[in-house]
Structure formats: C-alpha cells, structure tokens
C-alpha cells in the first residue's frame, strides 16, 4: 500500500498550481480575431525576435492536476481551498494573514488541517477494495 505523506501532497499541489499556469486560457465559443493578417517582408522576418517555445504540461502532470482539482479540493471548505491553493502558488504567509485576518500560527494550523483532510481522503480511497 502506498503511503501518502503531507510532503507528497504539498509537492503535488505545487505541481498542480504550476500546470494550471501552463494550461491555455479558456476562450468563448466561436472566438475569432477580426484583425486582418499582417504580411511581413522577408527583411522584417529576419530582424524579428524568435518566438520562444511554449512549455506545455505532459499527460502525467495533467492527470495530477485533474486529481487535485476534482478529488482533493472539493472535499475542503471554501476558505481551506483558497488557503491551500494560494500556498501551492507560493503566496507569502504575510499576505495570507492580511487576507484571512488571522495570525500566521492559526493560518498554518488551518493549512495543516486541510492537508490532513486530503491525506485522510487519499488513504481511504487507496484502502477501499474495488468491487466488480
């Protein structure tokens, strides 16, 4: 049986936050740009800066993101979700203390409780036998 630790959960949350930033933006259906295409001369193309390659998440990272978004976060209360997600995005404790209006110690305690909830859910999910 795989033992899921709090550190592994923190790492997975940070990975999911990173993947969330890499995913393309959601656009409205039938979204189009009405600007005409710009036609560049060969000389202009030579002097242009090369476009950097966009980093895209791989399938394993996307499945981890889905697990976090669809299984872990829904079991938490709204405040716990905000706290866990902002910590995964590495928002400093000081800013979170101002936003939530509590001290750092209380906020850290709430954060640990939320992670323990996720760990408990994961352990229950792993230990359940699959029924045909």
> Looking at residue 127, what is its pLDDT?
66
Q: Which DSSP string corresponds to 53-80?
A: PPP---HHHHHHHHHIIIIIGGGS-HHH
* pTM of the entire predicted model: 0.77
Q: Which tokens go with 76?
A: 């938490």
Measure the CA–CA gap between 19 and 38, rounded to whole angstroms: 32
d(CA 82, CA 100): 10
Tell me, what's the pLDDT at 67? 92
Residue 101: left if φ>0, alpha if ψ -120 to 50, beta else—which one? left
- Between CA 50 and CA 2 the distance in angstroms is 46
10-residue stretch averages of pLDDT, the chain, 132 residues long: 82 95 82 79 83 86 93 93 96 96 96 95 73 56
């Amino acid at each position: 049986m795989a033992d899921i630790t709090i550190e592994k959960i923190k790492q997975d949350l940070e990975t999911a936050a990173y993947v969330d930033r890499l995913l393309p933006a959601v656009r409205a259906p039938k979204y189009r740009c009405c600007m005409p295409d710009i036609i560049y001369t060969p000389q202009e193309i030579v002097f242009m800066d090369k476009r950097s390659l966009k980093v895209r998440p791989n399938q394993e990272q996307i499945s981890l993101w889905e697990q976090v978004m669809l299984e872990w976060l829904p079991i938490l209360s709204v405040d716990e979700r905000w706290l866990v997600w902002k910590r995964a995005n590495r928002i400093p404790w000081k800013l979170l203390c101002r936003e939530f209006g509590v001290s750092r110690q209380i906020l850290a305690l709430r954060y640990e409780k939320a992670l323990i909830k996720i760990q408990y859910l994961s352990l229950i999910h792993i230990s359940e036998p699959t029924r045909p």
